[in-house]
Structure 1
Amino acid sequence: MKVLILSPYPERIKFALRQEGDDPVEFNGTPSEWPTQEFDFVVSYGYRHIIREPLLSRYTGRLANLHISYLPWNRGPSPNFWSWYDDTPKGVTIHLVDSGVDTGPIVARMEANDFGPNSTYKSSYDYLHFLAGLLFLQTWPALRSGTWTEFVDNDWRHSGSLRTWRDLKAVLGSTEIDPQMSVSEIERLGRMARTAGK
């Protein structure tokens, strides 16, 4: 299969594609700049652009996203930050892409609880990316062959949480997160905001 990888770090999942004999093509530009050739499948991983029509229809059922949150919690950008700030489940998810923000059918997900007491934003982020690569390696054969089963959890699309870049700026004054900030500090900021009723 010829697979388009939309990602700033395609090397984290390329090995899983090559293991199945697939031909990965790397791309990290805007949707309007997508290669004109047809692909058998598209995998988005850390891609910062919203994919809209006509690309959604063109790749229906053949466009998956790796998201470093335990969906349906922390849909949108900076999910790792929000999982600590909002005290929500942490993990990684693979889902098909639809017109919503991280609302497509869930193919697989893995909860993460093995964070050390001195974890920083960066170390927790790196760990989630490790788990995302592992989950993709385990899931890709079923995903590429269409033999996966949708994860169903009491109509999860109407629960969970969605955050935006604007939310991050309101909390930090910026959309940049200090990589060395401890996760305990992020948790403290979230507790303070919840106590204040924000």
Structure 2
Amino acid sequence: MAHKILFLGYDKGRTCLIKELEKHGCTIDQTTEKLDWDKDYNNYNLIVSFGYSHIIPAEFLEKHPRKTINLHISYLPFNRGAHPNFWAFYDGTPHGVTIHEVDQGVDTGDIIYQKKVSFSDEKNFAETYARLISEIEQLFIENIPALLAGDYTPASQQGEGTYHKLSDLPDFDGGWEADIEATISALKMSKGR
């Protein structure tokens, strides 16, 4: 069966997943734009969100026949929201990637697949971010047939977890190329932690 996919967020220049879905015979419509959610999107077999910066309204989620899925570079329920890679280091929470159903909350939907990730050679935030992107793309690719067929059993998130807004990110020297250990240590010292 040919699948028609609405891919929200990254384009072919930012992710390999669109090409991978095309290899499975899928037709892809991709956008980074905020959509008119009052339109009928029921002609899509699946909606995938990866790097999409707009909130999908609850009313849309309720009327689409199949759950929208999101790819998030954290080990949910930890580090919902913005900059999950940074907050996993700062808060000392698990690193990982999660494919989950989208619900009315921010990264609170049921988990479809997830994987813990540990780092050894990566020393800065940019390197760990690139690794997490690679890991979530691989997790998605390994499970494309099941994701297309809806052949998975989602599980609710367990525990309280954590959440961070864009505005929570502190200023720090060096940007994403900064050494992680030195940056986290300096930030915690400045906060008296």
Aligned counterpart, 1:165: 166
What is the letter of the counterpart of residue 184 of structure 2? Answer: E
Q: CA separation in 1, counterparts of 2:66 and 2:75?
A: 21
Gaps of 5+ in 1: none
Aligned partners of 1:150, 1:82: CA distance in 2, in Å?
25
Runs of 4+ in 1 over 2 A off after TM superposition: 8-12, 31-38, 58-62, 189-194
Identity of aligned residues (%): 31
Structure 1 CA distance for aligned equivalents of residues 46 and 23 of structure 2: 16
TM-score, length-scaled by structure 2: 0.86
Tell me the C-alpha RMSD between the 2 structures. Answer: 2.5
Q: For the structure 1 residues 151 and 193, does the alpha-carbon distance in structure 2 shift closer, same or farther, using more than 3 Å as the test?
A: farther
Distance 1:60 1:67, change over 3 A: farther
- Does residue 192 of the first structure (1) align with residue 192 of the second (2)? no
- Quote the Cα distance in structure 1 between the aligned partners of 2:96 and 2:174: 19
Structure 1 residue 131: Cα displacement: 0.5
Q: Are positions 1:64 and 2:69 aligned together?
A: yes
Q: Given the alignment of the two structures, is residue 179 of structure 1 paired with residue 176 of structure 2, yes or no?
A: yes
- Contact 1:2–1:39, Cα closer than 8 Å, also in 2: yes
- 2:27 alignment counterpart: 23
2:117 aligns with 112
TM-score scaled by length of structure 1: 0.84
Q: CA 1:185/1:135 → structure 2, altered by over 3 Å: closer, same or farther?
A: same
Cα distance, 1:115 vs structure 2:
3.3
Change (3 A) 1:75 1:190: farther
Whether 2:38 is the aligned partner of 1:51: answer no
Indicate conservation of the 8 Å contact 1:119/1:183, yes or no: yes
For residues 162 and 52 of structure 2, what CA distance do their matches in structure 1 show?
20
Whole-angstrom CA distance in 1 between matches of 2:174 and 2:10: 18
More helix by share: 1
Q: Write the distance in 1 (CA, Å) between the matches of 2:39 and 2:125.
A: 34
Q: How many residues align?
A: 188
Q: Distance in 2 between matches of 1:105 and 1:9?
A: 25
